[in-house]
A = this chain, B = another copy of it.
Amino acid sequence: MPQGQPLTVPDDGLSTRQRRNRPLLMVHTGDGKGKSTAAFGLSIRAWNQGWNIGVFQFVKSAKWRIGEQTVLERLGRLHDETGEGGPVEWHKMGAGWSWAKKQGDAEDHARASAEGWQEIKRRLAAETHDLYVLDEFTYPIAWGWVDLDDVVATLRDRPGRQHVVITGRRAASELIDVADLVTEMAKVKHPMDVGQKGQRGIEW
């Protein structure tokens, strides 16, 4: 266990252990690479703790499958077969949310985003998962497809011990205010700057 010492100890009536185990709302934002990659890295850490993981990809390009999905779903099957780690569900908007019977109009991103958020609200109320990865969720918020005030209130008042990580550029300041941990991934250099496109194994 790491020995980091906080600079301040708040007068909140909680023990160190209680405070340590409070659920976190995490935001990975900024224009640099690593926002989603770090969220999926966090997921394998969580899997190893036996946590129940729910991934929700709010992106059209989720029609194609990234390596993390294959690996996390493989780890989920390993859990089902051997009891190692935790269960994993991976849902993506691009190909139609996997819980929805009717795939709906795949082009209607606004409605699909809103449906995704409603399902996440139901799961938060039911305390379905230990870790929620809301990948690229800042965009439907920024575009007004999902109501920011509703997101902030729902996440702030979520019951139990549910961790949430949200990724995407331009996270709203209201979201940052309510978050416990915010990292800005800032681009210093990217191969695209010198004409090199994304490649297998690095970008997906």
Contacts and interface: CB of A to CB of B under 8 A. Distances in A.
Interface stretch (A66-74, A93-101, A102-110): A66-74
Given A48-B67, A84-B74, A20 B188 contact: no
Interface in A161-204: 163, 176, 179-204
Q: What is the interface of chain A mostly: helix, strand, loop, or mixed?
A: mixed
Interface stretch (A29-37, A117-125, A149-157): A29-37
Copies in the complex: 2
A180 to B, nearest CB: 5
A189 B182 contact: yes
Interface string A33-46: 11011111110111
A187 B200 CA distance: 29
A22 B202 CA distance: 11
Given A28-B34, A38-B34, A176-B189, A195 B47 contact: no
A171 B180 CA distance: 26
A49 interface: yes
B186 A61 contact: no
Contact of A198 (B4, B48, B67, B201): B4
Given A37-B38, A49-B67, A204-B45, A7 B182 contact: no
Interface residues of A, number: 79
A6 interface: yes
B71 A47 contact: yes
A55 interface: no
A190 B20 CA distance: 12
Interface of A: 1-2, 4, 6-10, 12, 16, 19-22, 24, 27-30, 32-34, 36-42, 44-49, 51, 61, 64, 66-68, 70-72, 74-75, 78, 84-85, 130-131, 163, 176, 179-204
